[in-house]
Each structure stands twice: as C-alpha cells, then as structure tokens.
C-alpha cells in the first residue's frame, strides 16, 4: 500500500465529487490544493546522541481561519500523508459547520520508543519551530490530538506556546484536546468515539436504509467489530455496548479477539493494560490481527489508521455497514469492491468529525474564558423550579420527585458538549443523505459528503468576491 499516494486518492475522490457541481475549474483547484506546507528537520538530544527529527505541518485551506487539525506521532508520517489528512480536515470542518480551514501535523517517530521526558523534548522543540514559522496560534492554526498523541502532548504544546507569548490573553486557544484543568473541555476525550456512535445510530434509525440492507431499524442487537483499540476505538465500542449493540470483535495490531456473545469492553481494556496485548482475553477466541476485519458482523468500525481495507482484503469483508472512525481506512480500489458488494460506507469526513467539533467547543470556551453552563445553569434551575411550584399550586397536583429532579436540572458543561455534538452529527448526516437521495447520479455517501463540503467551501470563496 505504501507507494500509493494518499493525497492522490483524496484528490481523486475530490475530482469525482466535483463533477456533480458547477463551479469553475480554477475555484475547484484552489479548494483542492494545500495552501501552506511546512517541512521540518530539527535536532533533539536523545540518550546523549543527537537525533534528527522529521516533522510536518500542512495548512490545507485558508478559506477560514484558524486552521485546525491534529498532530500524529507515527512512523508512517510523511509529507504526502500529512497533506492528505489536512485536506480531509478541510472537508470535515465544512461538513459539520465548524468554521476552520483544515490542517494536520505529524512527527515521524515511534512514540513507544521514547521516555516521557524525551517525548516532551521533541514536542516542545516542534512547537518552538511552529511558533518561529508562525504556524500556531489561536487565530492562525490550532493543533489537537491525533494518532499517537493525547492530552499530555497538548499540555506541553500549550506550555511552550504560552511561555513564548505571555501577553496573549487568548493563548489557551492555541491548542485543543488539553487536560480539563488546563483549559480543556469535558467530553473531548471521548468526542470522536461519541460522534462515530451518534452518526451510525442515526443511519441505523432510518427504516428505509436499513430495509435496503436487510437489517432491523435501530441498534439493539446489532453486531459490531472495531479495528483499533486506542482512544477512538475504545470509546466507539463502549458507546455501542451501552446502547444495546453486541461488540463481537476487537482487532489490534498484535491480534484480534472474538466472542459471538459480546466482549466486555472495560474488562478488555483492563486486560490490555495489564498484559500489554489484546490476545488471550478470558472467554474470547484469539485471531490474527487482519482476521479481525473479516469477522461476520452488521457494523465494522475501522478506528486506527489509513488504508487497512484494500483491494486484497475487501472481498473478505462481511459487514453490512462500515463506519470510518479512522481517516482514510479504505483505499479507492478497496472501496470499489465494497460498493459492488452493496456495503454501506459512512465516510470519515463525516463520521469522525466529533473530535474537531468538540475541539471547536473547547476553542470557544478558551476565547470566552468561561466554562459552558456557568452563567445560566443555576438561573435555569431556579426559574424552572418556580414554574413547577406554580403549576403544582394552580393544579393542586404534585410532580413526583424523580421527574422534578430531571425537569429542573440545568445543563453542565458535559451535557452541553454531548447535546451540541449530537445535534451536529445528526444535522450533518441528514445533509449528506438528502444530497445522496436528491442527486440521482451520486451513488455513494462518500461522494455525497464531498459534494456537500466542496459546495460549502466554494460558496465561502465566492462570498469573498475577490480573486486577486
Ligand atoms: N485529529 C482529529 C481529527 O482527525 C481531531 C482534530 C481536531 O480536533 O482539531 O479529526
């Protein structure tokens, strides 16, 4: 797979979708090309030796600023990959109406080979390079976690940025996915998995679409397989289990586990932490890693990296629905085979947008310098309580205690984040589905999603009214 250009695949999808829209070629080209590319090589002293670190930040689109997108630490990082992922971010932000241009960063390292102290040195040096080149800032470009990074790395980025910009009042908005006690937002950790869940649930609630796939409406009893058991995979699996679906398989890079009666996600997570491997989990059957994708199920969720479903293994996929929690998990050749098999694919640019959506909420929180819910929660509780008292007095009837508690409860930050995300994913799903149904020439949801986002970005450019 390695010699296939990932950005070329994204560009091919783009060109294919653009045919369904009537915009001038020059405008479409401007939407497609990466606007700024930063390629870095910097030295870091590791265990007494100087190591040259290869890193990137690509700002794919400046049609809206700041640019937004994660930073990944992986050996697969290269300029082509980061550019493709940045382009997907542009499309993703447009689909969910998050007012950012797309970006992505990457450092070509195997994070597991470094101590925390070494990782911190690499992260701080990378951030310093971004500051020097003006590639980071709350109004310029706002990184976030991605494959191989999390809240810990975001805290180091924040600390480096604020050290160099002590007078910037909005400095905390320079990065999202931060720990909650450092300006992060409740719900960001599980946001991508929760968005995946809301998106697939909405699809499964469409009786007409489920009938076409010969499936029952709703999630109850549906079988699910998740590939990748990092942050996104874990949370996706957990939300499906909580909703009454049966998670029959989980695959990781070192093996897969299968239990037709369902795996206990939290027990499995404990097992992985204790043993260092997903295999040999009590009550389950261990399989080779790649066999995990081929387990019979209703919903398959690839939640790790790109290109895991390709032309060699696509014919063996037995799922009826594939939900792309990872970015670009299916190659174009693999997709052709899956679509022929009438498998429904919920595309990454829509389905994994939960992360950036909640990042947007975090950025808003940082710029407003106040926690969501702080100003109005108690006010709502007091006035609703007063209203219920009045109703009880007038009707001479009592509302039972449990109902009263629920009706009166004002929203905390986490409640607002969850409902804001749910609203976002449901709206985006229907926008894509309507485009798919309306344009008879569009034969799959990925093309429909690309059409929706290209159309929105083109309109933003045209509203600018100027092409110098
Ligand atoms: N890395 C995530 C993504 O690929 C999140 C990006 C963000 O929050 O900016 O969507």
Task: Quote the tokens at residue 418.
Answer: 């969850």
Confidence at 345, pLDDT banded by 50, 70, 90: very high
> Are 461 and 30 within 8 A, CB to CB?
yes
Mean pLDDT for the stretch of residues 383-410: 97
Distance CA 307, CA 452 (A): 24
Q: Which residues of 77-111 are buried (b: 16+ CB within 10 A; e: fewer)?
A: bebebbbbbbbbbbbbbbbbebebbbbbbbbbbeb
Instruction: Using the predicted structure, report yes or no on whether residue 1 has a pLDDT greater than 50.
Output: no
Establish whether residue 225 lines the binding site of ligand 1, counting it when its CB lies within 6 angstroms of any ligand atom: no
Residue 467 has what pLDDT? 65
Residue 248 has what pLDDT? 98
Establish whether residue 331 lines the binding site of ligand 1, counting it when its CB lies within 6 angstroms of any ligand atom: no
Ligand 1 atom at minimum distance from 358 CA: 8
Going by CA atoms, what residue is nearest to atom 8 of ligand 1? 356
pLDDT tens track for 142-194: 999 999 999 999 999 999 999 999 999 999 999 999 999 999 999 999 999 99
pLDDT tens track for 47-70: 999 999 999 999 999 999 999 999
SS3 category, 157? helix
Residue 465 has what pLDDT? 78
Measured between its terminal Cα atoms, the distance across the chain in Å is 40
**Residue % of the chain over a pLDDT of 90:** 97
The mean of the pLDDT values for the chain is 97
pLDDT tens track for 2-20: 467 999 999 999 999 999 9
What is the Å distance from ligand 1's center to 71 Cα?
8
Establish whether residue 327 lines the binding site of ligand 1, counting it when its CB lies within 6 angstroms of any ligand atom: yes
Task: Quote the tokens at residue 96.
Answer: 């969910």
Task: Quote the tokens at residue 122.
Answer: 């690499």
Q: 298 exposed, middle or buried (CB, 10 Å; 0-12, 13-18, 19+)?
A: buried
What is the Å distance from ligand 1's center to 241 Cα?
24
Listed residue (165, 154, 194, 228) closest to 351, CA to CA: 194
Residue 464 has what pLDDT? 82
> Are 287 and 255 within 8 A, CB to CB?
yes
Ranges of H-type helices in 257-299 = 265-275
* Whether the model pTM is above 0.75: yes
pLDDT tens track for 405-457: 999 999 999 999 999 999 999 999 999 999 999 999 999 999 999 999 999 99
Establish whether residue 355 lines the binding site of ligand 1, counting it when its CB lies within 6 angstroms of any ligand atom: yes
What is the Å distance from ligand 1's center to 354 Cα?
8
Task: Quote the tokens at residue 447.
Answer: 């093309």
């Amino acid at each position: 797979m390695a010699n296939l250009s990932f950005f070329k695949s994204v560009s091919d999808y783009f060109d294919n979708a653009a045919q369904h829209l009537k915009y001038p070629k020059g405008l479409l080209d401007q939407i497609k090309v990466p606007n700024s590319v930063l390629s870095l090589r910097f030295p870091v002293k590791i265990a007494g030796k100087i190591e040259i670190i290869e890193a990137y930040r690509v700002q794919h689109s400046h049609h809206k600023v700041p640019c937004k997108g994660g930073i990944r630490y992986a050996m697969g990082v290269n300029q082509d990959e980061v550019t493709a992922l940045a382009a997907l971010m542009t499309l993703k932000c447009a689909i969910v109406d998050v007012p950012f241009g797309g970006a992505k960063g990457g450092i070509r390292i195997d994070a597991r080979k470094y101590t925390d102290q070494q990782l911190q040195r690499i992260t701080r040096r990378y951030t310093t390079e971004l500051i020097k080149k003006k590639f980071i800032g709350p109004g310029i470009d706002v990184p976030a976690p991605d494959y191989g990074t999390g809240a810990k790395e975001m805290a180091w980025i924040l600390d480096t940025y604020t050290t160099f910009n002590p007078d910037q009042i909005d400095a905390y908005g320079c990065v999202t996915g931060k720990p909650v006690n450092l300006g992060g937002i409740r719900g960001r950790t599980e946001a991508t998995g929760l968005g995946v869940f809301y998106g697939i649930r909405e699809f499964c609630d469409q009786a007409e679409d489920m009938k076409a796939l010969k499936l029952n409406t709703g999630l109850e009893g549906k079988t699910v397989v998740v590939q990748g058991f990092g942050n996104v995979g874990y949370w996706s699996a957990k939300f499906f289990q909580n909703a009454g679906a049966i998670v029959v398989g989980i695959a990781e890079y070192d093996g897969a586990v299968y239990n037709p009666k369902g795996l206990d996600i939290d027990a499995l997570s404990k097992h992985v932490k204790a043993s260092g491997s997903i295999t040999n989990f009590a009550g389950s059957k261990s399989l080779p890693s790649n066999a995990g994708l081929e387990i019979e199920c209703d919903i398959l969720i690839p939640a790790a990296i790109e290109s895991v479903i390709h032309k060699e293994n696509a014919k063996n996929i037995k799922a009826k629905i594939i939900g792309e929690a990872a970015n670009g998990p299916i190659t174009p050749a693999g997709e052709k085979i899956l679509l022929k098999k009438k498998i429904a694919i919920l595309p990454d640019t829509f389905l994994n947008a939960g992360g950036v959506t909640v990042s947007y909420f975090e950025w808003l929180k940082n710029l407003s310098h106040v926690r969501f819910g702080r100003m109005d929660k108690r006010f709502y509780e007091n006035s609703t309580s007063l209203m219920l008292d009045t109703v009880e007095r007038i009707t001479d009837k009592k509302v039972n205690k449990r109902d009263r508690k629920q009706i009166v409860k004002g929203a905390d930050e986490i409640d607002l984040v969850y409902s804001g995300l749910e609203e976002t994913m449901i709206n985006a799903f229907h926008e894509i589905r309507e485009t798919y149904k309306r344009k008879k020439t569009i034969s799959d949801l990925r093309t429909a999603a690309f059409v929706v986002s290209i159309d929105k970005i083109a309109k933003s450019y045209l509203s600018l009214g100027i092409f110098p």
